[in-house]
Structure 1
Amino acid sequence: MAYTVKSSERLRPSAADTETKALLYLMNFRDDSDEIFFFVVDFFNDLTGMNKMGDKLWDLQSKGDKQPSPYIIGTELVTLYKNFVSEFEFAYYIIFLGGVSSSLRIDDTLTRFGIDNIKSTAKPKLINGLRDECKKKTYIDDNDIDDTKIDQFLKKVYFVIDDQSKSEYVKKIIKLNPTIIPSEDTLVAIFNEIRDAQSGKKNASVVEGVTLVAPDEALNYGRHLTTTEIRLLVLNRILNQDVIGAKVPHSFIDIYVQFPEEKRKNLLEDCQLDLSRALFNTNCQEDFWKLFENIYQTILENPTDKVEELYRKLDKLIIGRCLDFDVLSLKYFVSVIKDGISL
């Protein structure tokens, strides 16, 4: 089994905002979003989600146009079809659209649907668009331009229409009480930062002509982001500082200096490691953000309290659900948030 990268998609102008919305759709808006850990950029397609072990793939093609015709949408399906007929198995084939014309859907209220919601008058046009585009592409074998294969493929395609603002896509990452959600400007700034990080991956290495034996080998080329990177980026932006780094938070110094000098470095590293685990534990994201909210609100209500006093006012039930922290690392997290609010 092998897969050779032979697509000219990298030469096309990028609808960067749409591709980032597509990434955040995969990360937060699907029932199986928690399974997706890697987001591989411009390798198999515009974007491909991958689980932690690299053996399950969510393939996605994005298009930013607001009113593409059924025929044009068909042409845009070509890279998904390329992967459908490849030797690699993709679990899902998704086309993420900026909008559609009124001639496409049976039920115009659905923004996520399969081929069964495509009008009978639109389906032949969509198929013709796909067939015509397949004939133009050197990476589609003539034997694969087959009615049966195309029909099987279309039954697996999932259509997603962008119906959220940039800020709404970011809010889904931050599971917080609306009263402490960042401002609209901050949310858009976070979106733009994710977009820039995603766009930067396209220049990481040249992959045209690369042959893979297994999907996980795509990660060797560095053209991917992870859910952990994105969550950390968001938290850094909310707190206006690097959450995980070498610097000792100012509010943590009183605790830090009481530690034996030869053990201080290990203390700091252990606290940062626990915070990393908590932030990146996909099974406890809801509890992590509830803890963040509890700490944030406690600091706002007691702005002059030191970390030790704030710690004793936290909700013990919420703390008990966040098993990645111990006493010291939780006080470290309180310090990080307190310093972020004070900046």
Structure 2
Amino acid sequence: MTYIFKNTEINNEKASVFETKSLLYLIGKRNDSKEIEYVTFDCFNDVSGINKRHNKIWDIQSKNEATLSPKKIGTYFFTLFDNFLSTFSFKEFIFFCPILKEKYKIDSKLRNFKFTNFEEKTQTRIIAGLTEEVIRVKNDSIDYSTKIKEFLKIITIVEDENTENEYIKAVTKFKKTEIKSDEFYKSVFVELRNIQSSKKNSYIENKTISEIREVLSFRRHLSVKDIELLIVSRIIGVEIFKNIFYYPIYFSIFIDHLNIEDKKDILQECNSNLSRAFFNKNNNKVFWKICEEIITYFSINKNKDVESVYNSVLSTYTPKVSYLNETTLKYLISIILEGLE
């Protein structure tokens, strides 16, 4: 079982807005987003998600063209279809595109739908476009018509109807996304787009892998936690896990009276506790909720006394995870306060 990378981008152009949107859709707007551990760029396809066990791939082909004809849609389905023929385990095939013409669809209001939602005439033209592209690229005598029918039964079409800001907000797990401005969310989107672009600068054309996990060796990926950490660090204003012995000035009142070793122990414990809360996929909503409460408080209060802030916001709050104790929460309040300044 092998996979050969073909037609990969080798230029240094910035990753398109649309590809970044499809990345954020994959990790923030799906019912199964939680399963995705890594996202690769221009390897299997424009964007692909991989689970923790490296045995499933979510495959996305994104096309940001204002007027996609049915035949062109079929042509663009080819990379997804080619992966469908692969021996690798692809969980889902997704075509990510702008909102298509109403006349192409049976239910024009659907933004996430299967091939059967296309009008019969549109289906015929899409099949023709895909078939012609298969014949052109494969250039062999194999009849792919049965495989094409099987593929079209499972492909998902996702129409983009959200702004760049909304995709970033979907990843934050904040309920009150207005605690940051649209300009802020846009700047984070641009930063992520540029990081995505930098990951595509390597040359992998004709490289071969025999297991899904081997694609990570090309370093054309980000972990979902990398992306979430980027976003939360920008929201808080500092790199939250940059140094286990780092502490903000507002936390000094709690540890300045201690000797150096005791200081190190407390800082290491606080950093470890926050890290556990953030990186635990099953419980990290608690971390996001607490951050949201603290940031919301600071948005309407100028109070810089950490003890007072804790008593106002979190003294009656009982976290679902025991390691988010009082000292750790005061440490987090101090970090957020420093970052917001």
After TM superposition, the score normalised by the length of structure 1 is 0.91
Pick closer, same or farther for the CA change 1:285–1:104 going to 2, 3 Å.
farther
Tell me which residue corresponds to 1:214: 211
8 Å CA contact retained: 1:106, 1:117: yes
2:79 is aligned with 1:79: yes
Q: Which moved more, 1:51-60 or 1:159-168?
A: 51-60
8 Å CA contact retained: 1:134, 1:145: no
Name the SS of the counterpart of 1:292 in structure 2. Answer: helix
State the number of aligned residues: 339
8 Å CA contact retained: 2:277, 2:286: no
Name the SS of the counterpart of 1:153 in structure 2. Answer: helix
Mapped to 2, the partners of 1:299 and 1:207 lie a distance apart of 47
Pick closer, same or farther for the CA change 1:119–1:336 going to 2, 3 Å.
same
Tell me which residue corresponds to 1:161: 159
Pick closer, same or farther for the CA change 1:144–1:38 going to 2, 3 Å.
farther
Mapped to 2, the partners of 1:301 and 1:117 lie a distance apart of 48
Please report how far the alpha carbon of residue 41 of structure 1 lies from its aligned counterpart in structure 2 after TM superposition.
0.7
Mapped to 1, the partners of 2:71 and 2:30 lie a distance apart of 27
Structure 1 runs not aligned, ≥5 long:
none
Residue identity in the other structure for 1:334? I
Pick closer, same or farther for the CA change 1:90–1:179 going to 2, 3 Å.
closer
Name the SS of the counterpart of 1:155 in structure 2. Answer: helix
Q: Which moved more, 1:270-279 or 1:72-81?
A: 270-279
Please report how far the alpha carbon of residue 200 of structure 1 lies from its aligned counterpart in structure 2 after TM superposition.
1.1
Please report how far the alpha carbon of residue 13 of structure 1 lies from its aligned counterpart in structure 2 after TM superposition.
7.2
Mapped to 1, the partners of 2:160 and 2:93 lie a distance apart of 16
Mapped to 1, the partners of 2:12 and 2:68 lie a distance apart of 17
Once the two structures are superposed, the pairs formed by residues 116-195 of structure 1 within 5 Å of their partners are 116-137=116-137, 140=138, 142=140, 145-178=143-176, 180-195=178-193
Please report how far the alpha carbon of residue 238 of structure 1 lies from its aligned counterpart in structure 2 after TM superposition.
1.6
Q: Which moved more, 1:244-253 or 1:220-229?
A: 244-253
Please report how far the alpha carbon of residue 9 of structure 1 lies from its aligned counterpart in structure 2 after TM superposition.
5.2
Relative contact order, CA 8 A, sep 6+: which one is greater? Answer: 2
8 Å CA contact retained: 1:77, 1:95: yes
After TM superposition, the score normalised by the length of structure 2 is 0.92
Pick closer, same or farther for the CA change 1:275–1:79 going to 2, 3 Å.
same
2:268 is aligned with 1:294: no
8 Å CA contact retained: 1:65, 1:99: no
Percent identity of equivalent pairs:
35
2:23 is aligned with 1:18: no
Please report how far the alpha carbon of residue 56 of structure 1 lies from its aligned counterpart in structure 2 after TM superposition.
1.4
Which of 222, 227, 245 aligns to 1:225? It is 222
Please report how far the alpha carbon of residue 15 of structure 1 lies from its aligned counterpart in structure 2 after TM superposition.
6.2
